[in-house]
Each structure stands twice: as C-alpha cells, then as structure tokens.
Amino acid sequence: MKKRLLSALLAVSMVASATACTTGGSEEPAPSQPAVDNTGDTAAEEEQLDYTYGEHFYSETPVTYSMSFSDASWYPMTDQWKTEGVFAKITEKTNVTLDITSIDSGDYNDKIGLMVNAGEAPFIIPKTYDESKYVDGGAIVPISKWTQFMPNFTNFVETYDMQADLDTITRNDGNFYRLPGMHESPNQDYTFIIRKDLFDGAGVDVTKIEKDWTYDDLYDALVKVKAYMVKEGICKESDYIWSDLWCGQESGQGSGGNLLKIMGSAYGVPSGWAVGDCIQYDHDKDEWYLASTTENYKEFVTVANKFVAGGILDPETFTQDDSVATNKFYRGETAIMSVNRGQVAAFNAGLIEGMGGKPYETYLVVSPKGNNNYMAENSRLENGVMISKNAYDKLGEEEFIKMLRFVDWLFYSDEAYDLIKWGVEGETYKVENGQKVLCEGWYCSGLGYADPTPENEEDNKDMRLEYGYAGGNFWYGHRVDQRDDNLTPELQDLSKRIADYRDIRPLTPALASTPDENEQINLWKTPLVDNINTWTLNFVTGKKDINKEWDNYVKSCDDANAQNLVKLYNEINAR
C-alpha cells in the first residue's frame, strides 16, 4: 500500500529531485516528494495516513534494516534478546528485523568511525554523541530534510518548542545530521552517591548544606568523614576515601570522564566527557574563547587537585577500571562515588553483598557548586541516531522513507518507548494505580529495581540482562512523565532537589561553519584537545604543579593552534 502510494506521489509531484552539495562532490539525499497533508481525503492520502502521529508502524512485508549497537559490558547483548527479548518483540510488532552489528561500548565511537569511512556503515546508527566528523564526507544523511516524514518526531518538536535546541546542532548548510534524544526539560542523570551513615557519624548533615554547598565545602566534609573512618578503624590515614568510576581508560576516554565533566561545569568550563573542542561562547560579549586556559579553568583544576593532594580522591581514579571503584565502595572502603539514575539499584545491591550485612545508609546528593549555580546539564538534547547514506542508496527513496517511519516509531513513539523501556505489559510489567511496576519474578537495575531476594538469585531475573529492555541505545529522552515513570521516591526526590536548588545554563548557539572550515577545525582541535586532556589530568593528579607550570600549559595550547581556532570561530561568528 505505502509503496503504491509513494510511486503515485512521485508520478504527480511537481517537486524536482532536490539535492544539496557537500564536500568531495557527494550529493546529499533529499526527498523528491512532499509530505502528505494530514487533512487530505483522497484514497492515496488515506493509505499514507496509515502512519501518522500516535499511530502504530507495521510493514506489510517483512523487511530487514542494519543497525549498530553499543554493547555495554555490564549488560552484554545475548542471543536471547533476538529470540525472545527486545529485538524479537520489535519484529513481532512491526515486521521489521534489525540486523545488529554489536560493538563493545568502549570501542563504539572508533569502530563507527572506521565503518563510516570505509563506506560500510549500517543503515541506523544510534548512540551518537558527536556527528560532526562524519558530516562533510557525505556518508550521513542530512536528516532534517526528512523529518517531515516522521510525525512523532515533529510533534515532539512542536509541542515542547524544541527548535531552539535543534538550532544548536544545525550546521552551516541549514541541516542537522543527528536525530537527537529530546527531553521535555533538561535532565541531570549523573551525580554522587554517598554513605550518609559515615557523613552523619562525622557530624556532617548533607541534607542541610547541599543546597548551597561548594566543592570546597565537599572537601571539608570529606576531611571530617575520613577522620571519622580512621578513628573507627574503617580505613588508614594513608587510604583514599573517594575512588571514582567512569573516569579511567575503560570509560573516561583519556579525558577524566564523568567526574571532570560534572566538576568542570560547576566552574563554567568544559572538561571530561564534555571537553568537546574546548571553545566556549560568551553570551555577553557575543564571542568565542578558549575556556581551557581561563582563570575559571585554573580554579577548576586547582580545586580538583585539592581532593587528590589532601588524600581524599585516589589519583588512580583516572586510570583504573570501573569495577575497581565500585568494589571499593561496596566493601565500605570509600564514602562517595559517581552514580547515574540507572545504576542506583545496582550500587545498593552491591553494597548489600559487599557490606556483608553491616548497617549502612546511602543518599543521592545534589552535586556541589563551583563559581556558578548551574546544574551540569542545560540542553534538552541527548545523544541520538545518525542515518547512513547507505540506507538511501540501497533502499531507494520509497523504501528509505518507509525506514524513516520505522525509526520514528522506534525512537519517538510512546508505544515503542514503553516497550523498549519496560517490555511487554502483563509479561514483564503491569500497571497498578496508574503506575508501572515490574511483574513478580523480575527486577531491573537499569530501572532502579533491585533484586528483592539477592540471596536466592534463581528466584528473580534482571529484565535488562535477560531480554535487553531498559537499555541505553533506545530510551533516552521523552516527556518528563515517561522519562521518570520508573523513578523510586529516592530518585524523584533527587530530581526535585536539583530543579529547586540549581539554575539552567543558557544554550550555546551553533557555529555556522562551512565544510572547509569544519575540516580545518577538526585538524586543529584534535591535537589541541589531546594536549588539554593530558595537562588537565597531570594538574589534577599532581604530576604537574599548577602555579609553576600554568604558563607553560597555556603556551602548549597556543602552540597547538588554540588562538587560530578561536580566531576562526569568531570570524565565522562575525558573518
């Protein structure tokens, strides 16, 4: 039906096949037909309306689309996901089979880059954080030209006024190349979990000070906590009581990862996972500057180093595997650790086992302030989905649009969101008093549900491990009520405190650079960012003295074309 409709549209369309040029002589695919007016009443239009906002997607004939998959080691994909779990259910509901290329999450970005450059990219590429390096080669579809065929996506944009957010990823040619996860409101997923019983024992009532506390306040609190732990024989004076995860080579990607991202944002500078290209926008001056050599950056690394130099933060945080940090926390050797909402249940389960029945209490804190009152996140966009030009080339326009309908359903419909996150109603979850809860026999650390009987593991199964539901490749973003429908009272309270205690930082505008300028930016920024990351970790861990070496650090950035990069940004901004 849809194929006949699209053929008819092509036959009568007065719109010429429009393409836009990119570098290298490649052509960007653009639709040769308009989207059908939803108010139309012809037979062909009625067939097209088989898939509109809120409608279920189903392919009349079986189809297969290739898709990459960022496979996390802490919940690795199994064949059961394809035969009984999430991928089987997607096929059952849509008649679409996903041909999965599984890539270890630690190598995902590098492997995707190799596949794209080799012209072997799968049709659908989720879990994309930065599409910029793929755009100019013509291997990725300028997806903004095609969202007219994606009613769930466009409805969300219109309903929640997302255009200003989308403008931040729109490039010089007027297009964006990634379908982002979209939030109704900004979401700060990462913060810190503390052993509240240890803080209380040390005389530190975090609940009373966290609204306005700074990283200096956190340091002072941890000094008291360590003294208490030493007095109680929990640790020695030479031990560190903070050993963090998501910062080492396994997941920190040589940048300091999550910890330096959160801490840097408190001082208004990009670092860790948020390092980007280190160029930041000054709204008051309407100009771009290198944030990594500012006084704010110097203050940030000085405070971070304070935790290491004071015997609080283990410098091995920035080289160790994540399991080293979690195991220390589970055994009660440390008092604080990074956490995201999906890992709270897993961390508490680890504590139950690691503490061996000893009493403890945890608390999710609002991350401290630095020299501003902003929460770590300000964008309502998340990582998202790139669509390979291979899909357009191999499917042709009619079937390509059909695939986009499927992508729209899979990533943006309420129906698919609930399926991917919760599984099948009556099988893995049920609704009680308007609230989704897991069925008996299931738990899910990814949703914050701990195993109710950890001493008898065979009694219950983790829904994410068994079937692949609640996985990070799919269910980021969406409305607040759906995004938060799994939150425990503890997590709901955290979200409320963050919203009440912190402000939202203004959005950074997109840089309207040309493909040639993008190429130059990438040539300059790669060695510059590597240089900044290396110096930053050396400053934080104390391998280099911040005051004595700061001028040398600034010079090393200038030698790595920092000023040329800033000049280019501002030349583009002045156009």
pLDDT in tens, 137-183: 899 999 999 999 999 999 999 999 999 999 999 988 899 999 999 99
Per the structure block, which two tokens stand in for 20? 């836009």
**Between 181 and 8, whose confidence is greater?**
181
Mean of per-residue pLDDT scores for the chain: 89
Residue type, 218: L
Nearest CA to 420 out of 19, 81, 41 is that of: 81
User: In this structure, are strands 179-182 and 381-387 parallel, antiparallel, or unpaired?
Assistant: antiparallel
Q: How many beta carbons lie within 10 A of that of residue 289, not counting itself?
A: 17
pLDDT > 70: percent of the chain: 91
- The answer to whether 365 touches 194, Cβ cutoff 8 Å, is yes
- Residue 71: its H or E element: strand 63-71
> How high is the pLDDT of residue 49?
52
Token pair belonging to 285: 């001056």
* 495/426: higher pLDDT: 426
Between strands 279-282 and 287-290, the pairing is antiparallel
* Residue corresponding to tokens 């008092």: 335
Residues 6+ positions from 297 with CB-CB distance below 8 Å: 264, 267, 269, 271, 291
Question: What's the one-letter identity of residue 136?
Answer: D
What fold, for 2-182+383-418?
D-Maltodextrin-Binding Protein; domain 2 (3.40.190)
Domain ranges of the chain: 2-182+383-418, 190-376+507-573
Q: How many CB atoms lie under 10 A from the CB of residue 18? A: 11
Q: Which two tokens stand for residue 230?
A: 């030493």
pLDDT at residue 457, rounded to an integer: 64
Q: Is the per-residue pLDDT at 10 higher than 70?
A: no
pLDDT at 98 over 80: yes
Could you give the angle at the alpha carbon of 123 between the alpha carbons of 139 and 386, nearest 5°? 60
Look up residue 384 and give its two tokens. 């998202």
CATH 3.40.190.10 corresponds to the domain 190-376+507-573: yes
HSE-CB of 498 using CA atoms within 13 angstroms: 24
Domain pair 2-182+383-418 / 190-376+507-573, same fold: yes
pLDDT category of residue 290 using cuts at 50, 70 and 90 = very high
How high is the pLDDT of residue 23?
Answer: 35
Residue-level pLDDT at 35? 56
Residue 55 has pLDDT above 90, yes or no: no
Whole-structure pTM value: 0.74
- 3-state SS string for 382-410: EEEEEEEHHHHHHHHHHHHHHHHHHHHHH
Q: What is the mean pLDDT of residues 493-507?
A: 91
Indicate the pLDDT class of residue 34, thresholds 50, 70 and 90.
Answer: low
